[in-house]
Amino acid sequence: MTPASPKAPTPGEAAETAAIKDALVRFYAGTRATLEKDFLDPAVPLGSEVFFRETEATRYRLYPYLPSLVGFERWAGKRVLEVGTGMGVDHVRFARAGATLTGVDLTPSHLQITAARLKREGLASRLLQGDAERLPCGDASFDHVYSCGVLFLVPDIQRAVDEVYRILKPGGEALVMLYHRTSFHHYLKTLAFMGLVWGDLLYLTRQKLVDWSADGYDYPIIRLYSRRQARRIFGRFAEVRMAVRTLTPAEFPVIGQRLPTDFLEFAARRFGFFLFIRAVKG
């Protein structure tokens, strides 16, 4: 199946897209650590030994299923691209496993942190500043494309997924994490509690509330996806499988800390906030 040629954006859409990307770069330039933001001591200097150690430990403590779900070791000797390297925690795992790595990120500061993390362990990766909607890579050049918590920020996700499709070799696999719409985080915490009970929807738009609740008030824009929407976006792939994970006590006001961890794990399988999509190019 050949990817359809993308529709040219109108001048207004192009300007809006450029503004969102610019805002993303500015946002991340001022951000210490994105994924571990609530758990990392702000006194820890960015790029220090403690920073690298703690961001990695925190990530896999928060998301213990990640190493197994991603299967870093499976990609030893294969060509892997990570779209949105962020703090470089997963990127270095691919490098340790022996993958031939490329990393793309829109934000220079992320690339610097990732490069420093790799250098500290004597590992290598080709790091490129680039845009998920126009990946700076040739057609059919990767066995695996990995993107965790990035593509929901992209103004045109369909274009980004088409790009992933383009650069994957036939039989190659993409693993993408998006935020899940049908989740406790969205319906219970954000809309029901923050929006209605706490009344934040009286002065914030729904989009701003979603941004604030998910990642911080200044986030340029965050989109959430249901399984059905994700299936449509990845429609041109030969095989698509999905899994939902991550449900924290913070998503249940008052009673969150009293709920058994096992129950949260059970509920996370259906109503968690992270939607993982594994898609295979035919």
Partner 1 sequence: MSLRRRLPNPTLAALHPDVLPGGVERILLVGGWSPEADGLLATLRRGFRDPRIWLLTPSPIPAPGGIAAVWEGTVADQQIRRQARDARLDLVVPLEPYDLLGSTRFALERFALAVGARAVAVHEKAYGTVRIATRPHLHYRVSIRPWACRFFGGLALLGVVAPLYVVYWVARRVGLWRGPSHAEDRL
Q: Which residues bind partner 1 (CB under 8 A)?
A: 30-34, 37-38, 40, 42-43, 64-65, 68-69, 71, 175, 184, 188-189, 192-194, 196-205, 212-213, 216-218, 241-243, 250, 252-255, 259, 262-263, 265-267, 271, 276, 278
Shortest distance, CB of residue 94 to partner 1, whole angstroms? 17
Cβ of residue 143: shortest distance to partner 1, in angstroms?
A: 17
Instruction: In angstroms, give the least distance from the CB of 191 to partner 1.
Output: 10
Q: Closest separation between CB of residue 210 and partner 1, Å?
A: 12
**Residue 41: CB minimum distance to partner 1, A:** 9
Residue 88 has which token pair?
């470089």
Q: Which is nearer to partner 1, 8 or 255 (CB)?
A: 255
The nearer residue to partner 1, 157 or 214, going by C-beta atoms, is 214
Distance CA 240, CA 238 (A): 7
Terminal Cα-to-Cα distance of the chain (whole angstroms): 8
Least spacing, CB of residue 127 vs partner 1, in Å: 24
d(CA 254, CA 240): 37
What stretches of 168-243 show up as alpha helix (H) in DSSP?
Answer: 184, 206-215, 227-233
d(CA 25, CA 109): 9
Distance CA 131, CA 157 (A): 12
Compute the distance between CA of residue 116 and CA of residue 67 in angstroms, rounded to an integer.
22
**Closer residue to partner 1, CB minimum distance, 142 or 271:** 271
Tell me which DSSP letter residue 175 carries.
E
Q: Which is nearer to partner 1, 8 or 254 (CB)?
A: 254
Task: Specify the residue, 9 or 67, whose C-beta has the smaller distance to partner 1.
Answer: 67
Q: Tell me whether residue 142 or residue 276 sits nearer to partner 1 (CB atom).
A: 276
The distance of Cα 207 from the centroid of its chain, to the nearest Å, equals 18
Structure tokens at 90: 């997963």
